[in-house]
Structure formats: C-alpha cells, structure tokens
Structure 1
Amino acid sequence: MFVAIAYFSRRLPPAQFGVFFLFFALEGLASIPADMGISSALEKRLSEGEAKAGMLGSALVIKCSLIAVVTVCLLVSQGYVNAYLGMDVTILLVFAVVLRELSLFYIHAVRGNHRVGVTAPIEFARRLTWVSIGVILVAAGFGVRGLLWSLVAGSGVTFGIAYLTCTVSIGQPRLDHVRSLVAFSKYDVISALGGRVYQWMDTAIIGLFLAHQFVSAYEVAWQVTLLVLLISKPIALTLFPHISRLQADASTDQIGATISNALGFATFASVPAIVGATIYAPAILHYLFGSEYVIAAMVLVVLMVEKLFQSLNDVISIAVRAIDRPDLAAKATVASVGVNLILSPILLLMVGFIGVAVATTFSWLLNTLLHIHYLSQHVPLNIPYRLIGWYVVASVGMGVVLVGVKTVVPITGVVVLFFEVGLGGVIYAAFAVTIPAIRNRIIVPGLQAFGVGSGQ
C-alpha cells in the first residue's frame, strides 16, 4: 500500500489524487450505517463457540438489510455526492460499499472461528488486486477513475475468497440470535463510528474547507504513518478472539498478562518512528511522493505522535470489547469523537490543516486514557511504562546519531534517504539489544516467535 500510494502520487495530479481519498473516505463513512457493529458482534459470538451456523445466518440477514438501506440513501443523494467528489461516481461508490461490507463481514466470520491467520492472505489479495489493476488502468490513461474501479475490484476479489474460506454454514436465522448480536453491536457500533471518524473525518473536513491538493497531502502523510501500525494492528486482530475465550473462562489474570506483553510489542516501533519523522519528514515526502506534498511535513510529525497513542489504543480498546464490555468502549469513543469533531474545524480555520492533525492526536490520547481507565476496573492491568521509557532512551540515542549522519551526508535522493532510514533502524535495534529490559521482553521472545534462536 505504501509503495502504491507513492507510485500513484507520481502519476496523478494532487487534485485528482485528492478525489480518490475523498471517495475512500465516503466509502469508509458509509460503512458505519452499513454495518452498525454487526460484523464485530458476529466475530464475538462465533469466538464464544455457540450456535455458529444460526449466528451467521442471523447476522447475514441484518447485514444485507443495512446494506440495502445505505444503497438507497446513496442513490437518492447522488447529486450531492457527485458535487462533493467533483465526479459522477456515486454508482461506483455503491458497488464499492456493497462489496467491501460483504467482504469484511466474512473476514470477521473467519476470525471469529479462531482462524485469524487465514485472513492475512485474504486481506493481501484486496491490496494486491487494487494495486495491480490500478497500475494498469492509471498507466493506460484512465486516471483517478481507473484507481476507483481497481478499488472495487479488490473488494470483489476479497469477498469471493473470504466467502469460500468461511467454514461456518449459513443457518436458520433466529430471534434470540438477533437479540444476542444486537446486544453487542448496539454499543460496538459507537466504537466503529469512532474508528471511522478518526480515519476519514479528517479527510472529509479538509475536503469541505480546503482544495483537493490539501486532501491528498494530508492523506499521504497519514499513509506514511500507518507503517508504524504494522505491529500493533496484527496483535490487536489476534487478541480479540483470544481474550474473548479467556474472558469466557474467567481467566482475568491471564488476560492482564497478555495485554501487558502485547503493549510492549505494539509500541516497539512507535517511539523511534516519532524521532525518525522529526528528522526526515520533509525528505520522505519530497523524494518519495513529490515536492507538492512537502506542505504536510509537520502534519507527518504530529500524526506520528498520534500513532504512538493509537498503538496503545489498538491493544487496549480491543481488550475492552473482547471482555464483552462494548458499552465502556462506546463511552470512551463518544467523549473522544466529540472532542475531535469540535476541535478539528476550529483548529483547521486557526492554523490550517495541521490543526486537524493536532485535534486527532489529542482525541486519540483521550480515547486511550479512557480505555485504560475502564479496562483497569475489570482486569489487573500493568502498562509497561518502564519498558516504553527504555524505548525513548534508545530512540533518542538513535536520533542523535542520525542527526550527525545527516549533517555529514545530506539527503540528495531516494537512495541516500533509504540508507539513512535503514541505518536508523539498525542503530535503534543495536541500542535495544544492549538494554536488558528490551532484549529479554521483546527481542528474544520476538525472535523465538519466528523460530530464531529456539531450536526450531
């Protein structure tokens, strides 16, 4: 995805690329009423191991009904949608929403059946299809419209694979199953709303007040920072069914220990990424995406701080939902989303689109603190503050060395940029290995998990 964004930013004008991100944002926002937390509720109930076929059938009826309502609303308001996007693509947006929601529904079903690892190639197929077809269509001169068609194709391929991978049959819908699903989803939809707001509301607000090139610049910076979540997101996906099972067995002590270990791994890359972004943000945007995107350099740094909070939140929030307390996650989400919706337009008008990044960062911090507070009331929670402090020490050491290297060897191109960023990773790893707390809790267990140094 990162390489694809860099490629398309070079082949499409920033204003056209902004249309793609606005389309992507509307697709994400439309998924809120098209799902209403049903997919997560299905994953939760399937992970508990009861009446799987009936649960899937009941959830599918609800899901298809919601998708139908959203489809009608989009078609009725297509004039406004087309005007906002600047292109006549509402029908394409309908296809995108329908296929995306059905694919995610079945991916949640597979995860709920404790087959999280199986969903990795399914998700990869979505991105591979989007990138490969997008490259072909953009190169053929179809512009941003070709990129949108490839997005729809990716969701279609994903839906087909996820449907065939799901081993749970579709059973007879039952009213008690519907009630069980709604009991979870009515709160979880608020958490889902928060996720969509954090991911796409920034883009939507910038699209309302600023030109499309600012949308693309902000989104490019956002996409760069997503690399940090390559550790925390997979951990969170694995934790949900695992903690759900532990919660069903009343193993609260084991849940607390699992969360503490997960937080240590989730934040391992987040702290040094902030230091690296502070040093290299202008160069990353200039040499990888183009000089037009350097205006988002400070946005990139601020969003990298936000990703530290999100790395913590990925683990904490999923744990709150997995112990069957989506109501608490909903309370945290309502408070933080409210702050974000108020601050984003105010700070945007005051200091420009960097204000949107500041608002999002503050709201993520608030969301994380509230989730920690709620989770600690039900699980013996031990946040690894000392370990994170050592990450800071190693990151500062890395930063000092990199500043010296950059002074001696200025960034003049992509090769030098990659060399220095890679060198930063090596330096951080070297510092981490020399610190016993990081070595014993993160490095050694991490290597053993991949069969290195464990005799496997």
Structure 2
Amino acid sequence: MALKLGRTAAFHFLSQVVVSLSGFVATFAIARLLGPEPLGYYAKATAVLFLVAVPIIAVHTAIIKRMSEAGERDAYFGGGIVIIGGILLVLVVTVSLSKSYFEQYVGAPVTTEFVFLLVGTGVFRLLQAVLSGEKQVVHSGSIQSVERIVRTVLQVGFILLGYSISGLLIGHAVALLTAGVLGLYLSQSRPRLPEREHLHSLVEYSRFSWLARLKSRAFSWTDTAVLGLFVTSSLVGIYEVAWTLSATLILVSKSVQHTLFPEFSDLSTDDSYDQIHHLLNEGLVFTGVFCLPGLVGAALVGPRILAIYDGAFRAGATVLVVLVYAQLVAAFGEQFISAINAIDRPEVAFRVSGAFIAVNVALNVALVSTYGWEWAAAATALSATGLLVVSFGVIARLIGRPSLPWTEFASQAVSALGMGGILLAARDTIPAGHYWTVAIVILAAGVYLGLLVSLSTRVRDKAISLLDSVIPA
C-alpha cells in the first residue's frame, strides 16, 4: 500500500479504535445497568433500522462512487439530498403505518423514537458518503468517531436518568445528527440542484449496489433479526454482546476497505488493473491481522471476557468463537466485493450479494428454528465462507487472479499460535476477576504484536514507515 494510502488507513483505523472503545463502553453500560433484555430490545430495533435503511446505504455507496470519479461533485451532493430525502419520506410513512407490527416485534412502544433515528441515519450517511467521495477518508472516519462518542455519552446519561430503550434510541439519533452537521462543515463540496443525468447516474448505480449493501447489512443483522422471531430478548442481548466483541477484530479491514474503494474507483476509469492488484494485495496483508489472534483468544479466554459484562453473558462463549471465525472470512470476502463495486461492476456484485443473502436468511431460519439460538452464529459463519469463495472467483474472472500474501498469512498464524501458548500457560495461573482478565488480554496482544513484528519484514517496514510519516521528527 502506498505510504499516503497507508497513512490514511492508519488514521482511519485510529478513528475506528475510538469507535470500538466507545461502543464497548456503551454496550458494557447497557448490559451492566439494564441487563440482557433491554439490550435485546435495542438490538432488535437496530436490526430493523439497518435492514429498512438499505436503500439509503445503497445511495451512500453511489455518492462515493460518482464523487470519487471527479467532476460535478456539488451536483451529486445535491442529487444525494434529493434521493435520500425521498427515501426517508417513504420509510417514515411506512414505519408509522406499521406501528403495531414494529412494536410487537421489538417489544417496546418506540415508533416515534425509531422514526427520529431513521432521519438521523439518512443525514449521517449522506455526509459520510460526501466526505469519502472527496477522498477525505480520515474525516469520514472522524465523524464516525464523534458520532459514537456522543452516542455513548448520551445513552449512558439517559440510562442514569432512568430511561431505557427510548433513551437508547434518542441518544443514537441525536448523535447521528450531530456528526452529520460536523460532516457538512468538513466537506469541501456544497450541494447544488442536480440535473436529470446526475439523478439517473446515482439511481442507476444504486439499482445494483443496494443488494451489495443489503448483503453487508444482512451479515451484521440477519442473525439478530431472525433470533428476535424465535428466542427471548435476553438471548438476543447475549448474542449482541458476542457480536460486538467479534466485530472489534475487523477494524483494520474496514479501514483498508474504506481507504481503497475510492482509489480503486479512480484507477478503474483508466483500466489500471495492475495497480489495483498491487493495492489489493497490500490490503489483504492487513485484513485479518487481528482476527487470527482474536480467534485463538476467544477459544481460550472467551468466557472470562464475556463475564466482564455480567455472569449471564458467559452463555455466549461458543457463539463468540464462531462469530470471530465468521468475521475473519467475511473480512476477506468484503475486500473482494468492494473491489468489484469499485471497478464499476455493481451488476456482478448484485448477483453475488443476492446469493449470499438468500443462503444467509435460509440458514439462519432453518438452523435457529431447529437447533436453537447458538446456531445463528453457525449460519453466519457458513454464509461468510461461501461469500469468500464466490467473491474470490468473481474478482479473478474480472481482473485476473489476485496474488495472495501467503508468507504474511503464515507469519500471522505463527504469531497467533505463539500468543496462544503464552495465553494457555497464563490462563490457569492468573486469578479470577475482571481486572485480571483485562491484564490477560493486554498480555496476549503484546505477545502477538511482538512476534508478528519480529517475523514479518513487510509488516515491520510498513509500521516504521507509518510511524515516521505520522510522528514529527
């Protein structure tokens, strides 16, 4: 990865660390102060949010694509406002008319708060797309950090004031609107009235990309949505904590993906596929860099980590291990899907995404209804594995077989196993208790990073280069 792009990805990653830590604090506070059941209500409402807001996220992707191609950015900004505004109007009316069904599913009377959250989502997604389309990936990550910090502060505050699910949703909505206003301030573009061709271009790209975005949302929320149909809200809450922990391990992958998409898009306009291959190979080096040690760590000390939230959450230990594996394989699949979209082949990503969604939904319904709540994780893992295999085959057909950095993968695997040996030896000697559990995690992370830097010349050189470019002399 070029130094400039690596630095951008590093800054974006740091912003995602802030997001992750804020999310951990929020989930921890909700779990400790309210328990699994209210957390389950909130998880189900959020699952509905991301599923019904897929059209907004599809336009979000189209805005990034068209604005990253340079030229008439203001018009595409205005076009995004028009289209997302129309989508929000339809969604608000639909949710309001379906109030009784929505509240029966979620388990709480929060339709008004949910509508407010929908509007906040539309505003935030629009401005985040504009910043990414301008290649201001660092600022795009920054407003996400601001949103997560504000959300955490507001949600914890509402909990302490005695509010439950309604406070969680209102805090979420206000945070999104706040970050959206900041995004407008940071943007270099200003919206202008779009021409018909601008609207058509956005809609045409969104026509295919919406299913790719639904695929991404389906991976994150299908299992939660299906669990809400078959199990208690408490079990949904336990599952949500396991999912949140597993998701922290793909922060690097997301940062690489967000950084490379506009670059792939720009390079594809000149058919610069050799450069795309080079950047994709560089990106793959860091895609699973934390997932492998996370998988080992979850298997060895997962129950202790979950117990930090509350003793009841230890029931999600097996789920946590399976979800970490799912995150690992999905992270690689997402890199290939992102590249397919970036080279302006959304119709291909559309078909891949359609197959993934169908399999994911079918497996979740079949396995959860037959075997129980833990099998939602198995359904997600199987679906993610299929996505990886198919997306790799598709990108190989479109631009040639990607070169995989096997040496780097081996270094990561050896480092993770070495960390596992130390962790296994320390696990039975370190006393019980939350602080000691945190100490184990810090020890394991230090061992892994030390081994990886010593084994991988590529990772070591990249880390040194990034530090030299970020830290003033």
Q: Do they superpose with TM above 0.5?
A: yes
Q: Is the contact between residue 103 and residue 110 of structure 2 (CA under 8 Å) also seen in structure 1? A: yes
1:28-43 superposed matches below 5 A: 28-33=50-55, 35=56, 37-43=58-64
Q: Is the contact between residue 42 and residue 168 of structure 2 (CA under 8 Å) also seen in structure 1? A: yes
Aligned to 1:264: 285
Aligned to 2:413: 392
Aligned to 1:140: 161
1:281-430 superposed matches below 5 A: 281-286=302-307, 288-380=308-400, 381-410=402-431, 412-430=432-450
Aligned to 1:447: 464
Q: Are residues 57 and 455 of structure 1, via their aligned partners in 2, closer, same or farther at CA, if it must alter by over 3 Å? A: closer
Quick one: which amino acid aligns to residue 301 of structure 1?
V
Cα deviation for residue 169 of structure 1 reads 1.9
Aligned to 2:11: none
Structure 2 distance, partners of 1:84, 1:267, is 35
Structure 2 distance, partners of 1:94, 1:39, is 19
Aligned to 1:13: 35
Structure 2 distance, partners of 1:391, 1:48, is 35
CA displacement, residues 101-154 of structure 1 (integer Å, 9 cap, x when unaligned): 121111101110111111222111111111111111111111232222111111
Q: Is the contact between residue 302 and residue 321 of structure 2 (CA under 8 Å) also seen in structure 1? A: yes
Aligned to 1:197: 218
Find 1:23's aligned residue among 19, 22, 45. Answer: 45
Structure 1 distance, partners of 2:412, 2:152, is 35
Cα deviation for residue 223 of structure 1 reads 0.3
Q: Which runs of 5+ in 1 are unaligned?
A: none
Q: Is the contact between residue 330 and residue 387 of structure 2 (CA under 8 Å) also seen in structure 1? A: no
Point out the more displaced range, 229-238 or 348-357.
Answer: 348-357
Find 1:173's aligned residue among 176, 188, 194. Answer: 194
Q: Are residues 454 and 131 of structure 1, via their aligned partners in 2, closer, same or farther at CA, if it must alter by over 3 Å? A: closer
Q: Are residues 145 and 454 of structure 1, via their aligned partners in 2, closer, same or farther at CA, if it must alter by over 3 Å? A: closer
Cα deviation for residue 284 of structure 1 reads 0.6
Q: Are residues 36 and 277 of structure 1, via their aligned partners in 2, closer, same or farther at CA, if it must alter by over 3 Å? A: closer
Cα deviation for residue 48 of structure 1 reads 0.3
Q: Is the contact between residue 187 and residue 330 of structure 1 (CA under 8 Å) also seen in structure 2? A: yes
Asked whether 1:81 is paired with 2:81, we answer no
Quick one: which amino acid aligns to residue 214 of structure 1?
L
Structure 1 distance, partners of 2:182, 2:57, is 23
Q: Are residues 3 and 447 of structure 1, via their aligned partners in 2, closer, same or farther at CA, if it must alter by over 3 Å? A: farther
Aligned to 2:171: 150
SS at match of 1:172: coil
Point out the more displaced range, 168-177 or 204-213.
Answer: 168-177
Aligned to 2:80: 59
Aligned to 1:253: 274
Asked whether 1:211 is paired with 2:195, we answer no
CA displacement, residues 62-119 of structure 1 (integer Å, 9 cap, x when unaligned): 2111111111100101111111112111111111011111211111011101111112
Quick one: which amino acid aligns to residue 458 of structure 2?
R
SS at match of 1:249: coil
Aligned to 1:225: 246
Cα deviation for residue 382 of structure 1 reads 0.7
Quick one: which amino acid aligns to residue 412 of structure 2?
Y
Quick one: which amino acid aligns to residue 450 of structure 1?
L
Q: Is the contact between residue 116 and residue 170 of structure 2 (CA under 8 Å) also seen in structure 1? A: no
Superposed structure 1 runs of 4+ greater than 3 Å apart: 452-456
Structure 2 distance, partners of 1:390, 1:210, is 41
Quick one: which amino acid aligns to residue 369 of structure 2?
L
- The alignment of Structure 1 onto Structure 2 pairs a total of residues equal to 450
Structure 2 distance, partners of 1:409, 1:56, is 55
Quick one: which amino acid aligns to residue 65 of structure 2?
K
Quick one: which amino acid aligns to residue 48 of structure 1?
E
TM-score, normalisation: structure 2: 0.92
Q: Is the contact between residue 270 and residue 311 of structure 1 (CA under 8 Å) also seen in structure 2? A: no
Cα deviation for residue 409 of structure 1 reads 2.5
Cα deviation for residue 36 of structure 1 reads 6.2
Q: Which runs of 5+ in 2 are unaligned?
A: 1-22
CA displacement, residues 3-34 of structure 1 (integer Å, 9 cap, x when unaligned): 2211221000211111111111111112114x
Aligned to 2:142: 121
Q: Are residues 158 and 452 of structure 1, via their aligned partners in 2, closer, same or farther at CA, if it must alter by over 3 Å? A: closer
Q: Is the contact between residue 298 and residue 320 of structure 2 (CA under 8 Å) also seen in structure 1? A: yes
Q: Is the contact between residue 28 and residue 196 of structure 1 (CA under 8 Å) also seen in structure 2? A: yes
CA displacement, residues 248-279 of structure 1 (integer Å, 9 cap, x when unaligned): 22211111010001110121111111000000
Q: Is the contact between residue 54 and residue 170 of structure 1 (CA under 8 Å) also seen in structure 2? A: yes
CA displacement, residues 368-393 of structure 1 (integer Å, 9 cap, x when unaligned): 22111111123341122332123212
Structure 1 distance, partners of 2:306, 2:325, is 17
CA displacement, residues 35-66 of structure 1 (integer Å, 9 cap, x when unaligned): 26111111100000022122222232121111
